Structure 1
Amino acid sequence: MIYRRKTYKIKPEKLDDFNHFFHTYLYPNQIQHGARLIGRWVNENKDEILAIWEYSSMEQYHQIEQQIKNSERFKRAEEKRKELGEIYIESHQDFLTTTAPDPSTYHPPKHTMSVSGYITNTEGDVLLVRNFHRSDTMEMPGGQVEVDETIEEAIHREIMEETGVEIQLIGITGIYQNVTSGVTCVVFRGEYVSGEQRPAENETSEVIFTKLNHENIHRFITREQFRSRALDAMDANYLPYEAFKARPYELISRFEGKKDN
C-alpha cells in the first residue's frame, strides 16, 4: 500500500468554499476511480487541510490520476475553481509507504466513523438516495464524520448536503462495523422538518421519499449491508447517545430516543 498525503493552504474565510469543492468534486472523483480516503483534517487556525488517500500501488495512483484528468467531473471542477477564484493558496503532496525506512512516522487510522439516517416524513415515507459511485442500489443518506464534529452534527450536515432536507433526530438504531474497510457506521432515525429534496451535484443522482417495508425493501436497497441497517431502523429499539468534552467535563448533548407506539 502507498499513502498520498495532500496538504492545502487556504484562507480561513474560504474553508466552507473548500469543503463544498472537496465533497462535490475531489472526493467523488477519487472514490469513483478506486482510491480510498483514509482521513481529512483541518488545523485549529482553519488555514490548512490535510487529506490522506490510500492506493494499492504507485501504478494504481498514476492510473487513477489519468482517469480523473480525462473525466467530465474534472473539467467541471476546473471551471468551478475559476468561478470561485483561488479556493486555496497553495497545495503540495508527498507519499508514504508501509515499507518506508521509518514507518513509525506515520500510522494510518485503523477506523473511520460514518453516519446514516432513516428519515421519515408525515406520511411515513422513507428518504433514500442513489449515489453516483454506488449506482446499483439506493440507501439511507449519510457520510463520514469530520474532525471536531459530533456524530449528531455530522448526520444533520450530511443529510442536508446530500438531499437538501433538514431533519430532527429521534434516536440511534444501530452501530455497524465494516471490518474489511475499517468503517464504523452509526445509524440514526429521524423525521423530516423542512426543505425541498434535491440531488447533490456529482454526489447523489436521485433523492426520493418512498414507502418502504419488509416486502418491498429488496427493490430499493440491493446491497445486503445497507438493507439490514434500514430493517433495524424500521423496527427500532433506540440506544442512548451522549456527546461530551473532558477536562473539565462538559455535556454537549444527550438523548435516549422516543419509544414508538
Structure 2
Amino acid sequence: MKPAPLPPKHSVSVAGIVVDPAGRVLTIQRADNGHWEPPGGVLERSETLEDGVRREILEETGVTVAVERLTGVYQNLTKGVVALVYRCRAIAGTPHPTPEARDVRWMNLDEVAAEMGPVFAVRVFDAFEASARSRTHDGIRLC
C-alpha cells in the first residue's frame, strides 16, 4: 500500500512598506538578483509577524520602523510562499546598502511603477488603500 502524500507546505514571508511623510516608499535593490522590491524576507519560527517585519527591514536597510497595519496577503502559487505585508514608518536610522541590498532608496509611486515588477509594485500600491488586500500570483504576474 502506498503512503498518503504529505500535505503541501508553504513558506511564510513578511515585508514592510515604509512610507515617509512625503509619501515615498523605502525600497531595496536585491543583492542576489538586482530587482527592486520592498524590504522583507522569510519569517523565523521564533518571532511574531511584526518582529519579523522589523528585523527584515533593519537587516536590509539599516532603518528601525514602527509597524502600523497589515495591508495585504500575497500567495505565490509557483513557489508556495505566502507573504504578509505591513505598512510601516521609519523611527530611526539612515538607509544604506547591506549584504542583502546592493542599493537602498526612497521612491515615489511613479518610480515604484517603473522600477518594480508587478507582483511587488502592487504590494506598495495596496499599502495606500484603506483596507487589506489578498492576491495570488505566479511569481511574475497577478492571477
| TM-score between the two structures when normalised by the length of structure 2 | 0.82
Question: Alignment partner for residue 190 of structure 1, among 88, 107, 126?
Answer: 88
Corresponding residue number in structure 1 for 2:68 = 170
Q: Secondary structure at the match of 2:37?
A: coil
1:237-256 superposed matches below 5 A:
237-238=131-132
Cα distance change of structure 1 residues 236 and 132 upon mapping to structure 2, 3 Å threshold:
farther
Alignment partners' CA distance in 2, 1:193 and 1:183: 29
1:9-48 superposed matches below 5 A:
none
Question: Alignment partner for residue 231 of structure 1, among 96, 105, 125?
Answer: 125
- Asked if 1 retains the 8 angstrom alpha-carbon contact of 2:12 and 2:83, the reply is yes
Alignment partners' CA distance in 2, 1:144 and 1:236: 26
Question: Alignment partner for residue 79 of structure 2, among 172, 181, 188?
Answer: 181
Alignment partners' CA distance in 2, 1:154 and 1:216: 26
Aligned length: 131
Cα distance change of structure 1 residues 176 and 238 upon mapping to structure 2, 3 Å threshold:
closer
RMSD: 2.1
Q: Which has the larger radius of gyration?
A: 1
> Percent identity, aligned pairs only?
36
CA shift digits 1:151-209 (9 cap, x unpaired) = 111000000000000011110001011111110000000111010111112x1100011
Corresponding residue number in structure 2 for 1:200 = 98
Corresponding residue number in structure 2 for 1:146 = 44
Dislocated runs of 4+, deviation >2 Å = 215-218
Corresponding residue number in structure 2 for 1:44 = none
Shift of 1:120: 1.2
Corresponding residue number in structure 2 for 1:114 = 13
Corresponding residue number in structure 1 for 2:115 = 220
1:73-88 superposed matches below 5 A:
none
Q: Secondary structure at the match of 1:133?
A: coil
Alignment partners' CA distance in 1, 2:127 and 2:11: 22
Corresponding residue number in structure 1 for 2:141 = none
CA shift digits 1:194-235 (9 cap, x unpaired) = 10111112x1100011222xx4432221x1111111111122
Alignment partners' CA distance in 2, 1:109 and 1:204: 31
Q: Which has the higher contact order (CA 8 A, sep 6+)?
A: 2
Q: Which runs of 5+ in 1 are unaligned?
A: 1-102, 240-261
Corresponding residue number in structure 2 for 1:209 = 106
Q: Secondary structure at the match of 1:147?
A: coil
Amino acid at match of 2:58: M
Shift of 1:236: 3.8
